[in-house]
Amino acid sequence: MNIWINTAFDSLPREEGRPLRYRLLAQVLVRCGHTVTLWSSDWYHIKKENRGLPLVYNQDGVEVRLVPTLPYRTNIGWSRWKSHARYARDWAKLAAEAVERGELQKPDCLLLAMPPLGVFQIAEQVAKPWGTRLIMDVQDLWPETFHRLLPRGLRLFGRFLFYYFHRQAKYAYQRAAAVAAVSESYQEVINRKDLRVFPLGMQLPDASPRPSCEGNLLRLVYIGNLGSLYAIDVLLKGVLKLVEKGVALTLDVAGDGPCRALVEAYARKTPAIVFHGYLSETALDRLLRSRDVGVVPMRQSSGVAIPNKVVDYAMYGLCILNGLAGKTQELVEAYDAGVFYHVDAVDSLMAAIECLIKNPEAVATKGNHARQMAEAHFDGQRISGEMAEWVERVANPSLGRGRP
């Protein structure tokens, strides 16, 4: 079959960074004998820069096609909304022209990642004459996430203020041939009895022994976005206070975002806090292999069920210091893979860290449990294989269960 995948944000073949959801899925589908076209943006969401890749190229059997996209600098704002709207229109134009010229065959199935919003309606218009079946895969709930970013007095009016975007999302959920999501907690919003859940997954690294360190030093690490959805300030304040008390503690921060200057300022105050910026795949692998505890300072207002960083930490067998209530807290506690703290409370964070420092054996044990959790829930190869079978059945219902 001819299968298209449309994702504006994932890492791509020939690009630094570990293969994520759609790159892994594309690779599995190619191995199953399908023709796969992976559409994406030429603006790299993670780094907020142009990808620097050809607009059309083939890598490992996957044809990648990039849509020139308006740049944006923040994860939330009108510049990003405008960029998404332009992306949807320009993608549809490029896709239709490529089929008309015979560069691409019309797809049997088109999987659309959400976010961004707005792509489904345009894809439906383009693909209807082709008889293409459209699939939605929901990674984050939009626009529900943005209700929580409104001032408290306005949150009750969120559905009115974001009515147009709610209508876009509801239309896509109802009209798609099938819908998948990264968490069963999204069912309340998506409201489809046939919703399939495929958790986030990545390629599991080998479980090599963790380098030991002298004394009772506890090595914390945070990787990811430095934005308003994360209590980065609380993390930095808590670590600095403990260091000033003489606690043997380090914190490595890898990533970028609006709070970068704040992290750099704290790093100048103490050598115990090290800011790395955005790391290559090799450097990030080396960092995660050499630390003890991964921090999740994410606020529940993010609306995210299980963020990628939880998967990262668990894969490397790090004990998880978790501030995200909800699904992440439930999973981490079910596996005894870490400790919880109240994400906006410095005292709660400090108490959790001191508890871990006093119990190094527990840190190691919880790290082992985190790895078990990753093997059970986040094995990207297994998840991608299951998702590929599902895509095949949606694209061609006559296949039934299992590949021919």
Single-letter residue type at 371: R
Q: Does residue 380 register a pLDDT over 50? A: yes
| CA dist list (Å): 258 to 31, 96, 128, 206, 296 | 40, 37, 41, 33, 17
Q: Tell me the average pLDDT across 154-172.
A: 78
Q: Does residue 306 register a pLDDT over 70? A: yes
Where does CATH 3.40.50.2000 sit in the chain?
A: 2-203+380-399, 218-377
Q: Between 80 and 215, name the one with better pLDDT.
A: 80
The CATH number assigned to the domain with range 2-203+380-399 reads 3.40.50.2000
Q: What was the pLDDT predicted at 205?
A: 86
Ranges 71-80, 90-99, 179-188: which has the least confidence: 71-80
Q: Between 2 and 140, name the one with better pLDDT.
A: 2
Q: Does residue 210 register a pLDDT over 80? A: no
Q: Tell me the average pLDDT across 132-159.
A: 77
Single-letter residue type at 93: K
Q: Does residue 403 register a pLDDT over 60? A: no
Contact 158, 45 (CB under 8 A): no
Q: Between 147 and 371, name the one with better pLDDT.
A: 371
Q: How confident is the model at residue 20 (pLDDT cuts 50, 70, 90)?
A: confident
Ranges 22-36, 121-135, 203-217, 257-271: which has the least confidence: 203-217
Query: CA angle at residue 333 from 357 to 312, to 5 degrees?
Result: 75
Q: What was the pLDDT predicted at 123?
A: 95
Q: Between 358 and 81, name the one with better pLDDT.
A: 358
How many Å apart are CA 375 and CA 18, to the nearest integer? 17
Sequence-distant (6+) residues with CB within 8 A of 276 are 252, 253, 254, 283, 287
Q: Tell me the average pLDDT across 3-22.
A: 88
Query: CA angle at residue 227 from 221 to 232, to 5 degrees?
Result: 45
Query: What proportion of the chain, given as a percentage, has pLDDT over 90?
Result: 69
Q: What was the pLDDT predicted at 6?
A: 97
Q: What was the pLDDT predicted at 141?
A: 83
State the alpha helices, DSSP H only, in 48-162: 78-100, 119-127, 144-147, 158-161
Q: Does the predicted model carry a pTM greater than 0.85?
A: no
Q: Does residue 211 register a pLDDT over 70? A: no
User: What does the pLDDT look like over 33-70, one tens digit per residue?
Assistant: 999 999 999 998 878 889 999 999 999 999 999 999 99
Q: Tell me the average pLDDT across 341-349.
A: 97
Q: Tell me the average pLDDT across 301-321.
A: 91
Q: Beta-carbon neighbour count of residue 128 at 10 Å?
A: 10
Token digits for 381? 């190869």
Q: What was the pLDDT predicted at 156?
A: 65
**Which CATH architecture does the domain made up of 218-377 adopt?**
3-Layer(aba) Sandwich (3.40)
| CA dist list (Å): 294 to 277, 303, 341, 346, 372 | 16, 20, 13, 17, 16
Q: Tell me the average pLDDT across 98-102.
A: 96
Q: How confident is the model at residue 84 (pLDDT cuts 50, 70, 90)?
A: confident
Q: What was the pLDDT predicted at 214?
A: 62
How many Å apart are CA 132 and CA 117, to the nearest integer? 19
Q: What was the pLDDT predicted at 143?
A: 72
User: Average per-residue pLDDT in the chain?
Assistant: 90
Query: What proportion of the chain, given as a percentage, has pLDDT over 70?
Result: 93
* DSSP H or E run through 28: helix 21-31
Q: How confident is the model at residue 400 (pLDDT cuts 50, 70, 90)?
A: low
Q: Tell me the average pLDDT across 292-304.
A: 89
Q: How confident is the model at residue 404 (pLDDT cuts 50, 70, 90)?
A: very low
